[in-house]
Copies of this chain bind each other. A is one copy, B any other.
Amino acid sequence: MTPNTGTQASPSQTLSRGIRALEILADAAEPLTIAELADAMGVHRSVAYRILRTLEDHSLLVRDDGGRVQPGPGLAVLARGVARNLQTAALPELTQLANTLAMSAFIAVWDREDCVTLVTVDPRHTGPAVVQHPGSRHPVSAGAPGIAIQSAHSEQDWHRLVPGIPYRPEAAEARRLGFAASHDEVIPGVSSLAVPVRVPGGRPAALAVVYIRAAQDPDEVAAALVAAGKRIEAQLG
């Protein structure tokens, strides 16, 4: 496999535009009119109209009462298969962590220069939970999950895989300790701990908890994280 290392520019203009439409819709807080969306895409309105109808046929977007468009349930169906093994293996561990540690726990996967949160579990006590929404992106160079993902690679491998993103010195330390920590990086006042999770056929991921003020000993939390990560990896091995 990988017989040739060549690369050519990505065509498929219509497909690319359709995806851009979905990306714009996902980022938009409110439903958009077709004209607004066409303007945001930089295409003619009739082009956007045809693309949107195809997306609507697949339930990837739905129309408002006023004709405005917003993301549709089909997207949830498509996203169901994202790292399915990892999600099913991690969910019990996440709830266990969240409830025993009284912290929000989540799984994030590496995606180019970002890491994407997949599953989140908040502790059972309703209160000022540190919400980490599924589907949110953060730069891999910020936050404990990113450091943990970097720590799954050596510095040389990292530079070879992702040129342009520096290898944080904290990753080397996390590589030694087995877990990563960050404070006030993504959200001021919020700290997080993370461990790398390696799944055989998939992208590197991280298991993490976020908290405002530590109610537990950080070392104990880290130990619980490491143990949970090992259990997840064992289940997927």
Contacts and interface: CB of A to CB of B under 8 A. Distances in A.
Interface of A: 1-2, 10-19, 22-23, 25-29, 31, 50-51, 53-55, 57-60, 62, 64-68, 70-84, 91-92, 95-96, 99, 109, 111-112, 116-118, 122, 124, 126, 133-137, 201-203
Contact of A126 (B14, B72, B74, B95): B95
B59 A70 contact: no
A111 B77 CA distance: 11
B71 A95 contact: no
Interface centre among A23, A28, A76 (most CB of B within 10 A): A76
A80 B12 contact: no
Nearest to A56: B10
B79 A15 contact: no
Contacts of A57: 10, 16
A49 B70 CA distance: 29
Contacts of A11: 50, 54
Copy number in this complex?
2
A73 B58 CA distance: 20
Contact of A16 (B1, B58, B92, B202): B58
Nearest to A22: B78
Contacts of A83: 71, 73
Contact of A81 (B26, B59, B96, B111): B26
A57 B50 CA distance: 23
Given A15-B17, A73-B83, A95-B126, 13 more contacts: A12-B50, A13-B14, A15-B18, A16-B57, A19-B55, A22-B78, A59-B112, A62-B202, A71-B81, A75-B82, A76-B79, A79-B134, A80-B135
B14 A12 contact: yes
A92 B1 contact: no
A26 B75 CA distance: 10
Task: Give 10 nearest A-B pairs by CB, closest first.
Answer: A80-B135, A79-B79, A26-B81, A12-B54, A73-B116, A71-B81, A75-B79, A15-B18, A73-B111, A76-B135
Contact of A25 (B15, B81, B109): B81
14 contacts: A1-B66, A2-B67, A10-B54, A23-B58, A23-B78, A70-B202, A71-B84, A74-B116, A75-B78, A75-B79, A75-B81, A76-B79, A78-B79, A96-B126
